[in-house]
Structure 1
Amino acid sequence: MRLLYRHSPWRTLFTGDALPDPASLSPLLAPLADALSRLGPTPSLAAARAWQCELVDALKRLDLPAWRISQMISDHDQGLYRQAIAMSLDEMQASGWGPPPRPFCVLVLGSVARHESLLAPDQDNAMIIADYPDALHTQVDGYFQALGERFTDHLASAGLPLCQGHVMARFPMWRKRLCEWDAQLAIWSAERRVKRVQQTNILLDFAPVYGDEALAIALRDRALSRLKQAGGFLDEMASLLAETPVALDRLGRLHGDDKEAPQHGALNLKRQGLMPLVSAVRLLSVLHGCRSVDTRLRLTELVSAGVLQCEEALTLHAAMSRLQSLLLTTQHRRLGAGGLADNWIVLGELDETERTLLRLDLKAIRRLMGQARAGTGGSLH
């Protein structure tokens, strides 16, 4: 089997508590060393967040592909989370709250968890708290509510906006004991209700960022076990894929849905390209018990499980890479010009080759969505 995914030493740059020492980097990495030198060894949260555009510029000069840059942006975002949480815990200790009363784990959700973040994320996070007696709820949950409010406020002040949908650990819906998360999954998966499918889809893309990772492993075990048996719920999850089609009309021509389009010929490439791919792969992964969160790793697991052919997975890898490249290039250019990063691209700004490849990539994603809706393990064709 051809290699679908390779782990990279690039991914070690932002995994520790400290930033890399620019002097320790090879001269071949001079653009990155220069960017790190300008940032400094102990930047504030806000300075580190604002630096991401410069990080992307350095990595592009080093000829890294957009999908690898996206992974490193996500790693850096997770580092910002760890810094904000540690800062909040220190503040609470200093103000008399004491240490955490129970083991806990903060989760990042969505693109940051999948290591697919670009330059326009908001906050999506949750928290698992180790089980404790109901009699202690006010005391224990009060501590973790304060922690959730503090670290999300710190991140918002640094430039990672609060989630408009309230998917954050500062709210009880997304901050629960492990037993409560299990009960919540049981409720969500018991019926075919769109809102519950949407909430479950949000939760399924999680990664531990701070605290006791064993709690995250236990939640993954329980989620996969419960959902594997929830046939009607999975049917509704498959039906929901049709709610966000790819940006193609019935004749296979590029066509956005025009919802909130900033100008004629614009299409939201995240909503009508990346998210349909991510959602279809997520559904197939749940159906076949795959444990990975990153879309690329999920594709690899699906090949190993015999759900996809290797060539089909490679086609989807390439499609995802090109979509990420289009979005990252657009976001980086707009930020560099003093504008805002968003998920819109303008078809008139693409050359003929780019438009042709985009059509082919969206067609491949549409075929995958058909397979996921059918709930089969057969070929895409």
Structure 2
Amino acid sequence: MSESAMKEVNLQSIRAASDPEGLGSARLEEQTRLYEGFATTNIGVWNRLVGELHDAVMSRATEICERQLMKEGFGPPPAPYAFIAFGSAGRNEQTLWSDQDNGLVIEENGDPAAKDYFAIFGPRLSHILEKSGYPPCPGNVMVSNPLWRKTVKEWGRQLENWRSELGWEQVRYLMIAADMRHIAGDGSLSAAFRRVMHDVFERKSSPEQDLGAAVLRNTVRHKAALNVLGQVITEQNGEHAGDFDVKYGLYLPIVNAIRYLAVVYGVSGSSTLERLNQLNQLEAVPFRWLELSQKAFYTALRFRSLASYKEEGGVLSGTGFLPGEWLRKKEIRSELREALGTVKLMYRTLQRQQRYAERKWL
């Protein structure tokens, strides 16, 4: 399939789906068509098309969920809500086989029935999404979990609690929240969530409670998957022995480094590319550094979709590993080493910043 034939996603069957099974079938048909054109499609165009597909499926899932509850006698939603995405969906960087990372922002209207309704709505929506081809999030960052299903005021208190503790897990939760993106429902609630989050992130604090420093401590745990000889580090054992972990070895180190800079400079974009563009506008880091980071990021996106996957019951699920036979291809190995070299450069810069920050606390 030529790139000219891949300018848009066919969303008609997705928008017409009336049940989870039909939605899953429509999604599988369209993502199969997209995947057939992957090799001839620019990675930036590809990333946009995949995002449009997922947004349409997730949005339709919320409509199906509302209809199901109406038919079962629960009535319409007793309060406006926003269905939001986190993780790669929040950054609009999914693969075709991404899992669930989502939540709800609910309007506080004083109706006691709202809490009961959304306690049913959340798990039901998560179930519909699973039926539509989205595996559950291993970390349980899902609308079915009350931790990720709150009113604006409750979100404010939760974010403030995480901000006040700044342990490893609390910082991880804050960074998950930082990737929030509106998917469906009342967009003003998503905007309110983002304003609350911005206020929490920008709150002045003592050096010991500095959010940027805490995020930096979490971020530098990831290292570029290159050894001292500049060789790519692959899996040593198990079913993926000899394969390369694209997600944790390349993609997430880039995402985390750019997200850290976004927090430090108050950048509001939720996607990695938006953050890079805004950092460039602020002249926050050298242009060459940003240019190399963008190139490495595109490489990470492409390799994530080249990673091996499996199909079970009509559902595609990715392994996140680039097969060893791909690494034996000279052009692939060269491109991967170049991207990992950029990650190594990025993290040397971050580690210097961490050492400087630690000296300031002494």
Picking from 73, 90, 105, the partner of 2:50 is 73
Distance (whole Å) between structure 2 residues aligned to residue 232 and residue 92 of structure 1: 44
Supply the distance in 2 between the matched residues of 1:373 and 1:42 (Cα, whole angstroms).
51
1:308, distance to aligned residue in structure 2 (A):
2.3
The equivalent residue for 2:80 is: 103
1:124 alignment partner, one of 86, 90, 101: 101
Amino acid corresponding to residue 186 of structure 2 in structure 1: D
The correspondence for 1:194, drawn from 168, 178, 184, is 168
Q: Report the more deviating stretch, 298-307 or 52-61.
A: 52-61
Instruction: Work out the CA distance in 2 between the residues paired with 1:41 and 1:227.
Output: 37
Residue of structure 2 in register with 1:17 after alignment: none
Question: How do residues 1-381 of structure 1 correspond to structure 2 at under 5 angstroms?
Answer: 29=4, 36=10, 42-43=16-17, 44-60=22-38, 63-133=40-110, 136-137=111-112, 139-228=113-202, 229=204, 231-256=209-234, 258=236, 261-331=238-308, 341-350=318-327, 351-374=329-352
Letter paired with 2:343? I
Gaps in structure 2 of 5+ consecutive residues = 355-362
- Amino acid across the alignment from 1:197: V
What runs of 5+ residues in structure 1 fail to find an aligned partner? 1-26, 377-381
- Separation (CA, whole Å) in 1 of partners of 2:118 and 2:294: 39
Q: 1:322 to 1:187 in 2, by over 3 A?
A: same
Q: Which SS does the other structure have where 1:291 is aligned?
A: coil
Relative to 1, partners in 2 of residues 1:41 and 1:154: Cα closer, same or farther, differing over 3 Å? closer
Distance (whole Å) between structure 1 residues aligned to residue 305 and residue 16 of structure 2? 27
The two structures, once aligned, show a CA RMSD in angstroms of 2.8
Q: Distance in 1 between matches of 2:292 and 2:92?
A: 19
TM-score (norm 2): 0.85
Task: State the distance in 2 between where 1:261 and 1:267 align.
Answer: 12
Give identity over the alignment, percent. 21
- 2:335 and 2:165 mapped to 1: Cα distance? 39
Q: CA deviation at 1:240?
A: 1.2
For residues 31 and 187 of structure 2, what CA distance do their matches in structure 1 show? 30
In structure 2, distance between residues paired with 1:224 and 1:375: 23
Residues of 2 paired with 1:120 and 1:267: CA distance? 18
Q: Is the 1:241–1:280 contact (alpha carbons within 8 Å) kept by the matching residues of 2? A: yes
Distance 1:206 1:31, change over 3 A: closer
Q: Which residue of 2 aligns with 1:9?
A: none
Report the equivalent of 1:3. Answer: none
Q: Is contact 1:82-1:209 (8 Å) kept?
A: yes
Q: Aligned partner of 1:102: which letter?
A: A
1:243 aligns to what SS in structure 2?
coil
Given the superposition, is the C-alpha separation of residues 372 and 242 from structure 1 closer, same or farther in structure 2, using an over 3 Å criterion? closer
